[in-house]
Structure 1
Amino acid sequence: MVVSSQNQEHVELKWWEKALFVQYLVLKTTASFKKTEIIELSPKVELQFDINGYLTIEFTKAAFHFSFLVDILNIPANATWVKDGVTGAGGNGKGNAINQLSNPYGLFVDDDQAVIIVDWGNHRVIQWKKNDTNGHVIAGGKGVGNGLHQLHSPTDVLIDKETDSLIICDSNNKRVVRWSRRNGTTQGEIVINNISCWGLAMNNHTYLYVADNNKHEVRKYQLGDTNGTLVTGGNDRGNGTNQLYKPTYIYVDQQQNVYVSDRDNHRVMKWVKGAKEGIVVAGGQGSGNALTQLSLPLGLFADIVGTIYVADSSNHRVMCWTQGAKQGSVIVGGNSSGAAANQFNGSGAVNFDQHGNLYVVDFSNFRVQRFPLE
């Protein structure tokens, strides 16, 4: 990621996305770009984002003070996507071959546009590199079970770049597990036990957020913490603004605000950091297919200005809700249930690559669809 600073230097931060601290700045002269100086910061400098996504770094070496806008995905307000998706993984019927999926749910898109998919029905996590016709199993796939080499109906995954590992919701084993991405890894380790996890998120402050589908809450955990801190819900199931009912996928922004797909309340909730109650930011008008409604929402993403992208699973569509909007708009799908390129049969997790292309899990068509940004 390359950004410009206020003093007209050319600055590159390495691995900022999942890091709490930065250790190196690469400085190049603006005029010719011929002179390069790598400055090592000791101690490492903490990353601090403001509400607009600006990152300020202050350090004494060479008396520099940088304030610049980082390359957090900010989708243009009038963005549209190609309506016919391209199958990026699966699409060869239900099965356990390496070119097949079985009711996939979770999804993560890596920096190189590799798609990492939680293959729920095959009890595995599988990776499809861009333009590949076959996937590669990177966790599980050893049959259903609770061994450390096994998964049981996993639902979500993310990459922790600090440790170069996968963090997986191993849902029916009631645990969160970590699998190294190093070649030769054959088993994971338990990070959190005795939790009915469904969705995961991690922010730049290295907290891991987990949605507990049975306790109707979201907790955040620091490394080594097994109890966590309650951040949303936790007041039994219900439709109050301090309650959730079967939370699924979650998203955490740079200010540690938490967005939750509150599935059985057919809404998306936002909890501002430290708040005791949430705010309905999408849906909440009962189950239905009007533009004011959602029906069993799943996948969730929020951009830097608070625009929400949500998989409206039972309406077979993905919707966009701008901040403060009373109704959303359909960006892909919404053409009833089906297997055509412009249809879903249950829309699941959603994610974007660094170019703004949209990826959607089409779970009952056993595929992942990619929708290029127009």
Structure 2
Amino acid sequence: MKSILIPTSHFCFISAPLRASSTDIHPNTKWIQNGLTVAGGNGQGSGINQLYSPCGLYVADDQTIYVADRDNHRIVEWKSGATTGQVVAGGNGQGNGAHQLNGPLDVIIDKERDSIIISDLENKRVVRWPRRNGTSGETIVSNISCVGLTMDENRSLYVVDQGKDEVRRYRIGDTEGTVVAGGNGQGNRPDQLFGPWYVFVDRDHSVYMSEYGNHRVMKWEEGAKQGIVVAG
């Protein structure tokens, strides 16, 4: 079997600041019945009030939204209540230059360095851009089919390498990375992954990931050699 890269026109991935492992919701809670458009909504396009096949997004503490605007090859910042966005990375056409992106799929914020970390899928790299007034980025992970990103409270970076069916952790200063889930070839055994995509890390450093190919969600505790199925 070969790894799969699924077209993402109909997928959206959400990252948010690390949150508690459980949330108390009152049993009589009522939910708003209609959604509110907070970014885009003006048809497909490249205008600053438009998006084109948006994929991953990150919601900052102040409710500012950062969107991986895949087919516009850019990251767009939408402040709460704004009717237009602002390009904060890419937006210089499709390409592999330091000032360009090519099909970005996911984005997170490194608050300590005030920077944006991007899964630049078609360029097979993970890049870091300044969060404010950035004109180019630096490659921090190369030769990777990265489809998802997250970061723990220690600022360790977790990347989903769908090409190798594994999740790797990069601690600060680490250039090689450590496999924390999968890494045993593609398959459906507890020690394998098949088409991993979305990733989340809890406060115990357990890694959760959705597997497109195995139709399941797995949990890998820190240091574990295999995962357990928690959904699917």
Residue number in structure 2 paired with 1:231: 180
1:139 aligns with 2:89: yes
| Equivalent residue in structure 1 for 2:193, among 240, 244, 251 | 244
| Deviation per residue, 1:6-44 (Å, 9 max, x gap) | xxxxxxxxxxx78xxxxxxxxxxxxxxxxxxxxxxxxxx
In 1, the alpha carbon distance for the partners of 2:97 and 2:207 equals 32
Report if aligned partners of 2:21, 2:202 keep a CA contact under 8 Å in 1: no
Contact kept, 8 Å, 1:193 with 1:226, in 2: the verdict is no
Can you list the C-alpha shifts for 1:282-310, whole angstroms capped at 9, x where unaligned?
A: 11xxxxxxxxxxxxxxxxxxxxxxxxxxx
* Structure 1, gaps ≥5 residues long: 1-16, 19-70, 284-374
In structure 2, what is the equivalent of residue 109 of structure 1? 59
In structure 2, do the counterparts of structure 1 residues 80 and 270 end up closer, same or farther at CA, with 3 Å as the change threshold? Answer: farther
Taking structure 2 as the reference length, the TM-score comes to 0.88
Where does 1:210-229 land on structure 2 (aligned, <5 Å)?
210-229=159-178
Q: Distance in 1 between matches of 2:186 and 2:31?
A: 36
CA 1:80–1:218: 2 relative to 1, 3 Å: farther
What's the secondary structure of 1:198's corresponding residue? strand
Matched, 1:75 2:33: no
Question: Deviation per CA, 1:106-145, whole angstroms, max 9, x where unpaired?
Answer: 0100111111100011110001111111110000011110
The Cα of 1:80 is off from its aligned counterpart by 5.4
SS in 1 for 2:122: helix
Distance 1:262 1:80, change over 3 A: farther
1:119 match:
69
Counterpart of 1:86 in 2: which secondary structure? coil
The change in CA–CA distance for 1:160 and 1:80 in structure 2 (over 3 A counts) is farther
- CA–CA distance in structure 1, aligned partners of residues 206 and 31 of structure 2: 27
Shift of residue 267 of structure 1? 1.1
Q: Give the superposition deviation at 1:219.
A: 0.4
Q: 1:229–1:161: structure 2 CA closer, same or farther, 3 Å change rule?
A: same
- Paired with 2:165 and 2:48, the residues of 1 have a C-alpha distance of 35
Query: What is the DSSP-based 3-state SS (H/G/I as helix, E as strand, rest coil) of the residue aligned with 2:200?
Result: strand
The C-alpha deviation readout for 1:214-268, integer Å capped at 9, x for no partner, is 1000000022322100100011111111111111110001110000011121111
Residue 305 (structure 1) aligns with:
none
What is the SS of the residue equivalent to 2:54? coil
Once the 2 structures are TM-superposed, how far is the Cα of residue 81 of structure 1 from its aligned partner?
Answer: 3.2
Which whole-Å CA distance do the structure 2 matches of 1:88 and 1:278 have between them? 36
2:231 paired with 1:282 = yes
- Give the aligned CA root-mean-square deviation in angstroms: 1.6
Q: Distance in 2 between matches of 1:264 and 1:84?
A: 32
Match of 1:93?
43
Q: 2:217 aligns with which of 258, 268, 271?
A: 268
- Greater share of residues in strand: 1
Task: Give the match's secondary structure for 1:105.
Answer: strand
**Equivalent AA in structure 2 for residue 210 of structure 1:** V
Q: Which amino acid aligns with 2:219?
A: K
**1: distance between equivalents of 2:137 and 2:189?**
38
Say whether the 8 Å CA contact 1:191–1:224 is kept in structure 2. no
Query: Identity rate of aligned residues, in percent?
Result: 54
In structure 1, the partner of 2:129 is 179
Q: Which amino acid aligns with 2:140?
A: V
The amino acid of 1:225's aligned partner reads D
Offset, 1:204: 1.1
TM-superposed CA distance for 1:174, in Å, is: 0.6
Native 8 Å contact 1:210 1:219 kept in 2: yes
- Among 152, 155, 163, the alignment partner of 2:113 is 163
- Give the drift of 1:82: 2.1
Q: Report if the CA contact (8 A) 1:118-1:126 is conserved.
A: yes
State how many pairs are aligned: 214
On the 8 A contact 1:258/1:272 being kept in 2, the answer is yes
What is the distance in 2 between the residues matched to 1:73 and 1:243?
25
Which has the greater radius of gyration?
1
